[in-house]
Structure 1
Amino acid sequence: MEINKMLSLSTAHITKETESKLSEQSIYEVNVYEKSEYGYFIYPNIELLDKRGWDIPEDLKKCIGLAKANNCNWIVFDRDVDPVDELPTYEW
């Protein structure tokens, strides 16, 4: 049986530029699925990121690092989730 963990993060932890890339699905090492109109489910391909050198925006890299440190396979970004102290926040 396979069980996956998901880290819930505020969209405040990513910049507007990163959000635009997610909405366009232009970060190829990350599978992106829209979550209604105000968020995203992402599945970072850690194996591919490790091969390609993590050439992704720094804000997203920190979020994925936090998910990885907590053994989470998925991240959901949602505007209604409270920010966490471990990550920087951005106004947009």
Structure 2
Amino acid sequence: MRRVALHGGDVTHGDGLELAGRTLWVAHNTSQTISRWRLTPDGGAAHLEHQVTDPSLQIPTTLVRDRGRLLVVRSQFDKGGPMGPGTPEAPFTVAEVRGL
């Protein structure tokens, strides 16, 4: 294990990670953000390329790339989970995030 120098942002509250080649996507749960990073060839640094923040992500916990799509699990942890009172809305859903 080694440290990676981050440029242009951070991965605070990073929960789900997806790595394909030198591109890394991060689901930031409490900030409702998905970010895309580009790693250097040696993997020693990463540069923030793009990020999307949207409350409709409903506390994203994990993500996956599938056939060019970025699919994100909406946890609803703010609805009766560890981050708030209430009751989650069934069924739980997966969001497709475009542009990342």
Greater fraction of residues in helix: 1
Give the strand-richer structure, 1 or 2: 2
Please identify the structure whose Cα radius of gyration is greater.
2
Higher relative contact order (CA 8 A, sep 6+): 1
* Same structural fold, with TM-score higher than 0.5 when normalized by the shorter chain: no
